[in-house]
Amino acid sequence: MESRIPVILLACGSFNPITNMHLRLFELARDHLHQTGRYQVIEGIMSPVNDNYGKKGLVSARHRIAMAKLALKTSDWIRVDPWESEQETWTETVKVLRHHYNESLRLLQSKKEFMENKHLHERSTRDSLSCQHPDVNVAVRKIANLVKPDKEILQDGDHMIIKTLSTFRNYIMEFDIGKEFEEDLSGVDDRKCMTTVSWDGDKLLCVQNGEKEGRGWTQWIEGDKMHLEIRACGVMCKQVFKKVQ
């Protein structure tokens, strides 16, 4: 179990009402993931839709949540979460996913048992170095390794836009070469810093001055691949992107 990837199962729907098959879906998904030998399901979450979903005959969310809680009373790993139903209106599924993604990271960071669990720790030199810095979130790094983002770069002279697009979140960075600007990293690590991006030969060099020492990145292209090195607090990780025709 040490090398397995932690997974949280999330099911969105009306649950109008909750049925045995709703529960069975979680069991089947967990069994399959465990059988692969690669994953360890640590939690299941049911997220009932808002009353404004517009489904004919939809029962009030408070009743659907109460029924789900009763159905899950004997489960030690599945729970019902009211966040989606408590929003002012119907919420797109991708926004619900992002909310629970961010909440899960926050909880993983705060709960000591997750930080001590061996399957959250990589057996690598990079992670050995990272562990010297308690603010480098092991859980965030573990989950981030599963995400395969796309990069889109737009350039108009010295003005550049770099879009990082992934399943869970998107980040757009817009700047002028050589000019310092305030970068708002909300949704990434919820920090702000003063950032300058300049050319270092044929490489883009980014320096981010803020509460994290030595933060920044270097980006360059070799053939049909783009290399990205990201640094903070003496820790470095690298990503390689392949050009899509």
Average pLDDT over residues 18-44: 93
pLDDT at 198: 95
Are residues 243 and 152 in contact, defined by beta-carbon separation less than 8 angstroms?
no
For residue 132, the model assigns a pLDDT of 44
pLDDT (0 to 100) of residue 168? 60
Mean pLDDT value across the chain: 83
* Band (140; pLDDT cuts 50, 70, 90): low
Q: Do the Cβ atoms of 160 and 148 come closer than 8 Å? A: no
Of 45-54, 98-107, 142-151, the poorest mean pLDDT is in 142-151
Question: By the 8 A CB rule, do 139 and 105 touch?
Answer: yes
Note the pLDDT of residue 161: 93
Q: Which domains does the chain have, with CATH numbers?
A: 5-118 (3.40.50.620), 123-242 (2.40.128.20)
Task: Indicate whether 217 pLDDT > 90.
Answer: yes
pLDDT at residue 187, rounded to an integer: 60
Given a cut of 80, whether residue 134 has pLDDT beyond it is no
For the ranges 120-129, 210-219, 235-244, the lowest mean pLDDT is seen at 120-129
> Is the model's pTM score more than 0.95?
no
